[in-house]
């Protein structure tokens, strides 16, 4: 007959002299020699094994973090500490990924399970890259919470994001590009989209372009930009003749150093100036 065992984290009981002792593992410690040792909490003096086992639940509650912050509260603490260490565009990715955990924001982080996080991943309609960012973001938040003694374990290790699927993106047709061009006189920022079609920068790189990034050499106009990879930084992109007028207008726009900024309007629609477009 197979001996019945208790599940992980439920504790155990053992006889010590004439009484029983309740014991539960509350964490792990890595020694200087690299060996990992369990951190245990005990209470003895029970007359029966049943009483000792029942008390394991109380030992687990006693060993739980005293602070009971929500996921949103921990995220805010982690973000304040982590944002200065990475590039702004990297933090934008983490912020976007975190939005997909919105249903868990008001839950106590110590009570959130791997299944809770997995349900958010499964419900996210975005692509594989977003799922990867979600798992990375959750891992960083739980690592911070673990180091801060706000949770007892990291529940993000085995989150499944799938293998992903390659997506074939079809280029815009000439007719579609013409629709964008025709909308320039009436639609705000249509000229931005039209220029982006011909320059080939990533949207973030495009919006980060400054007037100082425009150059002319030997009668050829070009923009210097790019930030995603080492090879992509500082690359020269020629300005096609079809968008030369747009670039000229942007260069002659006062009140901003950026080529493609956002217009700031008051509630009444009054123009207030420019700011960087996210």
pLDDT digits over 18-41, tens only? 899 988 887 666 666 767 677 778
How much is the pLDDT for 31?
61
| Contact by Cβ (8 Å): 56, 12 | yes
Contacts with 268 (C-beta within 8 Å, 6 or more apart), sequence order: none
How much is the pLDDT for 64?
53
Where the chain has pLDDT below 50, the residues are 1, 231
Alpha-helical runs (H) found in 36-173: 49-63, 71-82, 88-98, 114-123, 128-147
How much is the pLDDT for 25?
81
| Contact by Cβ (8 Å): 257, 239 | no
């Amino acid at each position: 007959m197979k001996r019945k065992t208790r599940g992980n984290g439920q504790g155990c009981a053992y006889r010590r002299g004439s009484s029983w002792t309740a014991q539960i593992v509350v964490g792990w410690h890595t020694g200087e020699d690299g060996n990992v040792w369990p951190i245990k909490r005990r209470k003895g003096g029970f007359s029966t094994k049943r009483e000792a086992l029942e008390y394991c639940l109380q030992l687990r509650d006693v060993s739980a973090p005293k602070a009971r912050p929500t996921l949103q509260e921990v995220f805010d603490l982690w973000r304040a500490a982590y944002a200065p260490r990475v590039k702004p565009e990297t933090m934008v990715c983490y912020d976007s990924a975190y939005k997909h955990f919105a249903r868990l924001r008001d839950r106590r982080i110590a009570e959130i399970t791997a299944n809770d996080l997995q349900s958010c991943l499964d419900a996210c309609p975005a692509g594989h890259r977003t799922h990867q960012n979600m798992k990375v973001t959750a891992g960083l938040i739980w690592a911070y919470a673990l180091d801060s003694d706000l949770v007892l374990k990291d529940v993000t290790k085995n989150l499944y994001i799938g293998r992903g699927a390659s997506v074939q993106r079809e280029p815009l047709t000439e007719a579609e590009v013409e629709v964008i061009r025709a909308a320039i006189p009436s639609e705000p920022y249509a000229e931005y989209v039209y220029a982006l079609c011909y320059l080939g920068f990533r949207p973030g790189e495009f919006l980060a372009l400054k007037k100082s990034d425009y150059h002319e050499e030997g009668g050829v106009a070009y923009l210097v930009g790019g930030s995603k990879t080492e090879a992509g930084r500082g690359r020269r992109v020629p300005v096609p003749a079809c968008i030369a007028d747009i670039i000229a207008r942007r260069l002659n726009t006062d009140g901003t150093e950026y080529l493609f900024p956002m217009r700031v309007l008051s509630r009444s629609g009054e123009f207030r100036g420019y700011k960087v477009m996210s």
